[in-house]
Amino acid sequence: MPLLNASGCLDALTAPEVARSLDAFVTKTVTPLPREGNPPPRIAETDDWMLNSIGLQNPGIDAWAEDSYPRLVELDAELWVSVGGFSAHDYALVCERLDDLKGVAAIELNLSCPNVDEAPETAAELTAGARAATAKPLYAKLSPQTSDIAEAARAVEAAGADGLSLVNTLRGLALDPHTLRPRLALGAGGASGPALRPIALACVHACARAVELPIVGMGGVAAGRDALDLVAAGATAVALGTILFADPHAPARIRAELESELRARGHSSAAEIRGIALGSAAPAEASSK
């Protein structure tokens, strides 16, 4: 079962050995123009969540293609590029540039960053713009902050997405206990970490029912059991986000834990349990295995 990092949660150039411990490295979101990102403080922790407001700091596609890309292909890890923007035209422009780069294995469309203003177009329109610009595999990354994520999944599938990445962060706010002002400079931010787990699981479950696409599941994965759950709900790959901040060695540990979770249930590979949770109730034979 492929293990990736979640976009924005690893820099392969400062931690190449961590990137090499994954099956693919996903870049931080790249936009058409350089972005300074949001002012600090950009991170805060509550009892249950990590909040971030990075604001898609990135060098822009031109500088990325010139400086970062050649160094990333040298790392010898499969390379996925996360793409962001503010219009269908932005997404198409970045995808067109990436289409020429042989070392880019797949593109993930960040359709859902809570820390930047949203594009006026729908996720499906942004996906269609990207689809017209590249033949590379396109993964649409969706927000859990929606009333019907299965509907969004069907729409991006119809627009030409080859896969889904589920989920991005939820919007959250934390206040300083003394001043009662927001702890992040820009107020609210994206909430990630263990509390996102059941939400991510529900999203993967709903989308796996709705579409046939491969799904990269993510949201609060911190142990092999969490990865097992996502696969059971229909994920074909799993990505690690916030856990990498606490434990850069998490990929090897989680892989080993997943294997023993599978073995303990009498399975030899993740494929055997994929989507098992999509059945209506726990079948007796599965629970007695």
Partner 1 sequence: MLAGRPARRELLAVKGTAQMGPYTLLRLERGGMEPGIPGQFFMLEAPGRILPRPMSLCLAPPGELAFLIDPIGAGTRALCGLRPGDAIHVLGPLGNGFDLDVERPLLVAGGIGIAPLPYLAERLGGDVPVLLGFRSDVHAEAARLLPDAEVVVEPRLVTELLPDDPGDVLACGPEPMLEALRELAPSSQLAWEAPMACGYGACYGCVVELSESYVRLCTYGPVLREGQTLDTSAGDDERATSE
Ligand X SMILES: Cc1cc2nc3c(=O)[nH]c(=O)nc-3n(C[C@H](O)[C@H](O)[C@H](O)COP(=O)(O)OP(=O)(O)OC[C@H]3O[C@@H](n4cnc5c(N)ncnc54)[C@H](O)[C@@H]3O)c2cc1C
Ligand Y SMILES: Cc1cc2nc3c(=O)[nH]c(=O)nc-3n(C[C@H](O)[C@H](O)[C@H](O)COP(=O)(O)O)c2cc1C
In angstroms, the CA 254 to CA 21 distance is: 11
**In the complex, what is the shortest distance from the CB of residue 216 to ligand Y, in angstroms, rounded to a whole number?**
10
**In the complex, what is the shortest distance from the CB of residue 182 to ligand X, in angstroms, rounded to a whole number?**
11
In angstroms, the CA 6 to CA 28 distance is: 9
Whether 165 and 142 have beta carbons less than 8 Å apart is answered as yes
Does position 48 bind ligand X by CB under 6 A? Answer: no
**Strand ranges inside the chain, DSSP E:** 3-5, 24-26, 43-45, 50-52, 78-83, 104-110, 138-142, 163-166, 170-172, 189-192, 215-217, 237-240
Specify whether 113 is catalytic.
yes
Write b or e for each residue in 134-161: b if 16 or more Cβ atoms lie within 10 A of its Cβ, otherwise e.
Answer: bebebbbbbbbbeeebbebbbbbbebbb
The correct pick among 11, 78, 99, 259 for binding partner 1 (CB under 8 A) is 11
**In the complex, what is the shortest distance from the CB of residue 263 to partner 1, in angstroms, rounded to a whole number?**
24
The correct pick among 74, 176, 247, 272 for binding ligand X (CB under 6 A) is 176
Tokens of 223: 């142990």
Does position 144 bind ligand Y by CB under 6 A? Answer: no
Does position 7 bind ligand Y by CB under 6 A? Answer: yes
Does position 64 bind partner 1 by CB under 8 A? Answer: yes
From the list 233, 289, 282, the residue with the least C-alpha distance to 266 is 289
Does position 63 bind partner 1 by CB under 8 A? Answer: yes
**In the complex, what is the shortest distance from the CB of residue 45 to partner 1, in angstroms, rounded to a whole number?**
5
Does position 68 bind partner 1 by CB under 8 A? Answer: yes
| Touching partner 1, residues 247-286 (CB under 8 A) | 247-249
Residue 67 binding: pick among partner 1, ligand Y, ligand X, none (C-beta 5-8 Å cut-off by kind): partner 1
**In the complex, what is the shortest distance from the CB of residue 161 to partner 1, in angstroms, rounded to a whole number?**
27
First to last CA, the chain: 21
Active-site position among 95, 113, 203, 207: 113
Does position 42 bind ligand X by CB under 6 A? Answer: no
Residue 27 binding: pick among partner 1, ligand Y, ligand X, none (C-beta 5-8 Å cut-off by kind): none
Positions annotated as catalytic residues are 113
Interface ranges with ligand X (CB under 6 A): 41, 45, 176, 183
Interface ranges with ligand Y (CB under 6 A): 6-9, 28-29, 50, 52, 54, 56, 82, 110, 113, 141, 168-169, 190, 192-193, 196, 218-221, 241-242
